Amino acid sequence: MSTPIVPTEVTKRKREDVPAEMSKLLASFASMDADAVMKQLDTSPTGLTDQVVEDRLVQHGPNEIAREKRVSPLKRLIAILSNPLSILLIVLAIITAVTGGGPGVYLILLMVVLGSALRFFQEQRSDNAAAELQKMVTTTATVVRNGDTKEVALKDIVPGDMVSLSAGDMVPADVRLVTAKDLFVSQAALTGESLPAEKNVNVVDASQTDTLTMPNLCFLGTNVETGSATAVVVQTGKETYFGSLASSIVGHREMTSFDKGINNFTWLMIKLMLVMAPAVFLINGLMRHNWMDAFLFGLAVAVGLTPEMLPMIVTVNMSKGAVDMSRKKVIVKRLNAIQNFGAMDVLCTDKTGTITQGRVELEKHVNLLGNEDGHILDMGFLNSYYQTGLKNLMDVAILAHLDKARELVEEAKYSKVDEIPFDFSRKRMSVAVTDGGGTDLFICKGAVEEVMALSTSVALDDKTSPLDDAQRAAALKLVADLNGQGFRVLALATSSSDHGTSDRVYTVNDEHDLTLLGFLAFLDPPKPTAGEAIATLHSNSVDVKILTGDSDLVTVNICHQVGITDPRVLLGPAIEKMSDDDLAGAVEDIVVFARLSPHHKERIIHALQSRGHVVGFLGDGINDAPALRTADVGISVDSAVDIAKESSDIILLENSLLILNEGVIEGRKVFGNVIKYIKMAASSNFGNMFSVVGASAFLPFLPMLPLQILTNNLLYDLSQTTIPTDTVDKEWLTKPRKWELGNLRRFIITIGPISSIFDYLTFFIMLVVFKCWNNPALFHTGWFVESLFTQTLIVHVIRTNKIPFVQSLASKPLLISSVAVVATGALMTVIGPIARILGFVTLPPLYWLLLLGMLLTYVVLTQMVKTWFIRRFGDV
């Protein structure tokens, strides 16, 4: 056989163009008849030979989609050490080592190791857990090769293979149908449509039909609900519609709101360090003419200004959040997603399987007046129960009414006489039953137009009358109204005859002169928790928007059922004509975005982000993958397709929207504790550096030795490692929290200098009261202790917007670590070997009394300024 004409190498083109190009290729096959397709692919009903299969595997590669590669431990470590703070500290450690910094080198490196190691092991553990979750089950497909039917692994399918499909099968590639019987395929993962699509072998006009709705094509990633078919494979692997979409998103990930905030804060502190450290170096060099001491002191100041524990504090907070979420059956794949949950102020969600249950239910059984009629349900049940063909989802929904089984079948009220199976040309099926009284009841169920065309009378209120034009118009209006509410509608009609014998044979010719009873209306209903979850999210200031590939009519009806009243709607075709700026202007007020392609969903996420929103996206289908990766936090479920799970940041093991609200609160707690550390460390370090600059200008010696600064900084940072255990005020959790660098900068500038007031008071006490002009060791010891005590104590003031110790008390671990650190600092000044290494001496008893007074005054003053700041500028 010759090589088939099948295009390849599409995945290198623009991401949004790839599915469009695949659509054109697939449409060309849909516009040919089955024989022409097989001829172009150089195959036949007997299938390919083993040699041809081998050649085509070499040409097209295995039938596998692109998957995101796991990060190796080495690459993960490099990425962690590439953090700006880690790089800065490593550079400072190298400079310190070259210039003879001694123990200072080890302290700096210890800070890097503590921060990086914890983050590395936590991320590696999370990645391992996610990998276990995502292991794919080996799947096979039924193919014809060398004239024989066999099962082969999906990855070994090639273009030109002849495959057999039946109920429950996953479509193994993009295929063109050759034969089909009663075939319904669920395409929800690709299109978002909740009800299965009918499929047949008829040639279509490719210019008039969207590729995904072409009835003679089936796509990789969809599955057969009912019926059977044979088909020829036209595209495999990365060349399928699904595969091209997967290839276009693997490796592409947007920087999230949290990432941007951390980076912006990091660079703020680095810029501050680049100004303050050289200033301290120059002042001390010019004042004392010992440029090496001045250089080492400047380095120590640079380290002191660096929030070196930030990566570790962030990671510990995220890890604790991940552990808490895992107890609620949620897998956190990427730690930053926990905070993004809390910052999220817009949740975009797919409809099918997320807001809805992802299954069909019989919602209404009504007569021509739109009134519920139990007799219609009875007749519909008998029709579905006694048909021997493959039952579709609507039959299953009808048969879910088990009380009817007992009433109509088990009690032998009716028994089957014959049936006329469903076919696509008639779009209906009929069953004849008897109640044993000599009369057959003939029940026909199917498409509204088909059944009404066969009906000549109508039954209302136990009376039968001719079906006139006015009643036909009223019936069609009722159906249109139901369709407008998103229902899939079937008509039900009956007739009766006196042929009450069990051997009576019915044919299509008996489908005439029917009495129209009414209609059966089906819908994918919302989840029981959806309304409550959406209301709870709204109460926590999170807007919910629905992004779906399904009909706007269906979606609006679901919105009404879950409490979203009068939603504004924007359709995919309209979005296609809008510029990015126009779309950004429209997204704020729109609640329902319907008939969307994957690219539309991605554009909507970008538009919301351009308006300053932190956006979450909840989806479980192939068509959701680009949006999942673009969102600040991508959320999927364990039952989602693999590419959706790979693209997400968080996976829900229970498909409950209520878990989302718990995640939001958990995320706000995490961010609250992260921001505590940043406020504490930055304001404290900023104030200390003001003190260092001032002291350097008038003291005849260094204000503090480099090793003492590093030790002070390390002890303070260690006291902060318990912040992740701290509680967060309930008031702080009531609204989304995201980075506000301007307000944070104001807080640092306002609160930081307060510590300098007490530093200068300490300088006065040490120089005037304790005569330290010629005793630098005593001065160093006094300032070291005061600085450590005030920094550690003020943590408890900054950690809450309330009155510390009275209205809000820190967690026990934070209280214990605070006491332990100040006790360690005090003991360092009296334990001989440690004191000698660090250059400390014993402090006089009066110092401790004066220190107590300063600490009380410091707490009161900081609380007053903090309260004023919150009233003036709001929370930070």
The residue ranking higher by pLDDT, 316 or 530, is 530
The residue with greater pLDDT, 466 or 96, is 466
Name the token pair of 240. Answer: 């399928």
User: What's residue 209's pLDDT?
Assistant: 66
State the CB neighbour count (10 A cutoff) for residue 471: 17
Q: Quick one: average pLDDT of 376-394?
A: 84
Asked whether the predicted pLDDT for residue 16 surpasses 60, the reply is no
Residue 192 has pLDDT above 70, yes or no: no
- Helices 706-720/658-698 angle, 10° precision: 160
Query: How many angstroms separate the most distant Cα atoms in the chain?
Result: 124
What tokens does 542 get? 């999170």
Considering only 195-199, 232-236, 252-256, which range has the smallest mean pLDDT?
A: 252-256
Q: CA-to-CA distance for 329 and 780, rounded, in angstroms?
A: 53
Active site residues: 350
Q: Find which of 23-37, 286-300, 695-709, 811-825 is predicted with most confidence, using mean pLDDT.
A: 811-825
Of 84 and 735, the one with more pLDDT: 735
For residue 137, what pLDDT band results from cuts at 50, 70 and 90?
very low
Percent of the chain scored above 70 by pLDDT? 85
Whether pTM > 0.85 for this model: the answer is no
- Percent of the chain whose predicted confidence (pLDDT) is above 90: 26
Q: What pLDDT, on the 0 to 100 scale, is given for residue 11?
A: 32
Name the strands in the sheet holding 543-547, side by side, starting at the edge strand that comes first in the sequence.
Answer: 330-332, 650-652, 633-637, 615-618, 346-349, 543-547, 592-594, 569-571
Residues in contact with 471: Cβ distance below 8 Å, sequence separation at least 6, in sequence order: 368, 458
Please give the pLDDT value at position 15. Answer: 37
* Least confident range of 112-116, 156-160, 672-676: 112-116
Q: What share of the chain is helix, strand, coil (3-state, %, to 5)?
A: 55, 15, 30
With bands split at pLDDT 50, 70 and 90, how would you rate the model's confidence at 133?
Answer: very low
**Residue bearing the bigger pLDDT, 437 or 660:** 660
pLDDT tens by residue, 75-127: 777 777 777 767 777 777 777 677 665 665 776 677 677 767 766 776 676 56
Residues 464 and 512: beta-carbon distance below 8 Å: no
Confidence band, pLDDT 50/70/90 cuts, at residue 465: very high
Mean pLDDT, residues 320-344: 78
Query: How confident is the prediction for the chain on average, in pLDDT?
Result: 81
Q: At what angle do helices 291-305 and 84-98 cross, to 10 degrees?
A: 160
For residue 353, pLDDT beyond 90:
no
Distance of CA 81 to the CA centre of its chain: 27
HSE (side-chain half, CA atoms, 13 Å) at 735: 4
Confidence of residue 639 (pLDDT cuts 50, 70, 90): low
Which helix (H) or strand (E) segment holds residue 320: the answer is: helix 310-326
Q: 529: helix, coil or strand?
A: coil
Q: Which residue in this structure is represented by tokens 């940072």?
A: 717
Segment 725-743 mean pLDDT: 83
Please tell me the predicted confidence (pLDDT) of residue 136: 38
Q: Judge whether residue 769 has pLDDT over 80.
A: yes
Q: Give the residue with greater pLDDT, 190 vs 372.
A: 372
Other residues' Cβ atoms within 10 Å of the Cβ of residue 836: 10
- Helical H runs in 765-844? 776-798, 812-828, 832-838
Measured CA to CA in angstroms, residue 829 lies from 243, 691, 781, 786, 853 at distances of 67, 21, 7, 12, 20
Work out the average pLDDT over 607-631.
84
Greater confidence, 500 or 733? 733
Residue 696: which pLDDT band, with cuts at 50, 70 and 90?
Answer: confident
Q: 807-811: which pairs have CB atoms within 8 A and are 24 or more residues apart?
A: 808/727, 808/729, 810/726, 810/727, 811/722, 811/725, 811/726, 811/727
* Confidence grade of residue 18 (pLDDT, cut at 50, 70, 90): very low
